């Protein structure tokens, strides 16, 4: 279900010489891929598994409650890098690794991901060894671009006036006002069909606070009502369609929440 409880156990198999290993989590819509990343992490010295999520809301919940050191994000699930931007703003110490699918393999997307705060960008088809290297390099250097993508990090083509890369513009040169992290979470839950009382319970807020967030969302998106706001968000790329297991938030059974930094 949505609620999760971090499991705190001593680090052993992947412990580094410095006394702790890096907790790695992934947000990806495909269960089999998430399991593959978990397998890679389990057999890599210096890494331990922190959990997995399959949607934006679940990813934010995972990061808030388990606090991994590294989060791997699928580009198809975050085509405009809104999730990366939100997570980077909420926790600058979190290392964000973006897996780029072929459909996102453009100068535009890479520039947007970097601007949003991604620390590493690698092809989604990367092998386990290169993935582990990307995680380590991103954690150490705070910036890693896989050699296969380095040619795309040149300055992107000039954009039309008034439209910035990845700003979620809705057309006619008008950019949507950015949503706060909490507003983004509320919008995700509104899109799932939840009423204010249910949203308040999930986010541990008062119903009145949720109403305030909804009003702010409507204003920022220039929406008439909740349904219109969700429609605008999907059309503008602020929200992306989720698969059937979008509620999955699965912490590692033997993971350690990130230590105080």
Predicted confidence (pLDDT) per residue in 127-150, tens digit:
999 999 999 999 999 999 998 888
Which two three-digit tokens encode residue 41? 């992490």
Give the pLDDT confidence of 213-228 residue by residue, as tens digits.
999 999 988 999 999 9
How many angstroms separate the CA atoms of 59 and 26, rounded? 8
CB 99, CB 122: distance < 8 Å: yes
The residue with greater pLDDT, 173 or 74, is 74
How many angstroms separate the CA atoms of 22 and 70, rounded? 7
Pick the range with the lowest mean pLDDT from 93-102, 116-125, 177-186, 247-256.
Answer: 247-256
- Residue 80 is predicted with a pLDDT of 87
Q: Where is 32: in which H helix or E strand?
A: helix 31-42
Those residues with Cβ within 8 angstroms of residue 30's Cβ, 6 or more apart along the chain or in another chain: 243
CA quadruple 55, 60, 65, 71: dihedral sign:
positive
Side-chain-side CA neighbours of residue 19 (13 Å): 2
Q: Are strands 95-100 and 70-74 parallel, antiparallel or unpaired?
A: parallel
- For CATH 1.10.10.10, the residue range(s) in the chain are 181-235
Residue 91, number of CB atoms within 10 A of its CB: 17
For 43-81, where are the alpha helices, taking DSSP H only?
A: 56-65
- Residue 261 is predicted with a pLDDT of 47
Residue 151 above 90 pLDDT? no
Domain 181-235 CATH class label:
mainly alpha
- For CATH 3.40.50.2300, the residue range(s) in the chain are 22-156+245-251
CB 63, CB 96: distance < 8 Å: no
How many angstroms separate the CA atoms of 119 and 141, rounded? 9
Q: Where is 131: in which H helix or E strand?
A: helix 128-141
3-state secondary structure of 233: helix
- Residue 252 is predicted with a pLDDT of 59
- Of 185, 258, 170, 257, the closest CA to residue 221 belongs to 170
Pick the range with the lowest mean pLDDT from 78-87, 125-134, 177-186, 205-214.
Answer: 177-186
Mean pLDDT for the chain?
80
How many angstroms separate the CA atoms of 38 and 33, rounded? 9
- Residue 181 is predicted with a pLDDT of 81
CATH topology of domain 22-156+245-251: Rossmann fold (3.40.50)
- Of 122, 109, 133, the closest CA to residue 73 belongs to 122
Which two three-digit tokens encode residue 255? 């993971």
Give the pLDDT confidence of 36-86 residue by residue, as tens digits.
999 999 999 999 999 999 988 889 889 989 999 999 999 998 888 989 998
| Reduced 3-state DSSP string for 51-109 | EEECCHHHHHHHHHHCCCCEEEEECCCCCCCHHHHHHHHHCCCCEEEEEECHHHCCHHH
Q: Where is 188: in which H helix or E strand?
A: helix 181-191
CB 210, CB 168: distance < 8 Å: no
Which two three-digit tokens encode residue 182? 């909490």
Radius of gyration of the chain (CA): 18
Residue 249 above 50 pLDDT? yes
How many angstroms separate the CA atoms of 243 and 54, rounded? 8
Per-residue pLDDT band at 242 (split at 50, 70, 90): low
């Amino acid at each position: 279900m949505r609620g999760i409880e971090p499991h705190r156990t001593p680090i052993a198999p992947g412990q580094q010489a410095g006394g702790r290993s890096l907790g790695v989590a992934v947000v990806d819509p495909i269960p089999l891929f998430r399991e593959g990343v978990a397998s890679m992490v389990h057999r890599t010295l210096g890494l331990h598994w922190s959990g997995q999520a399959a949607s934006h809301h679940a990813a934010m919940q995972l990061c808030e409650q388990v606090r991994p050191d590294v989060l791997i994000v699928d580009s198809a699930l975050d085509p405009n890098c809104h999730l990366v931007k939100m997570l980077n703003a909420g926790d600058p110490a979190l290392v964000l690794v973006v897996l780029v699918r072929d459909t996102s393999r453009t100068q535009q997307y890479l520039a947007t991901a970097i601007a949003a705060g991604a620390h590493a960008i690698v092809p989604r088809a990367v092998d386990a060894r290169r993935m582990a290297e990307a995680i380590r390099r991103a954690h150490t250097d705070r910036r890693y671009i896989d050699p296969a993508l380095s040619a795309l990090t040149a300055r992107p083509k000039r954009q039309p006036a008034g439209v910035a890369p990845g700003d979620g513009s809705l057309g006619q040169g008008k950019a949507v006002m950015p949503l706060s992290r909490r507003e983004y979470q509320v919008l995700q839950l509104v899109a799932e069909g939840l009423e204010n009382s249910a949203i308040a319970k999930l986010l541990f807020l008062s119903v009145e606070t949720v109403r305030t967030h909804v009003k702010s969302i409507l204003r920022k998106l220039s929406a008439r009502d909740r349904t219109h706001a969700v429609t605008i968000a999907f059309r503008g790329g602020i929200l992306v369609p989720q698969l059937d297991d979008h509620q999955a938030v699965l912490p590692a059974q033997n993971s350690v929440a990130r230590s105080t930094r």
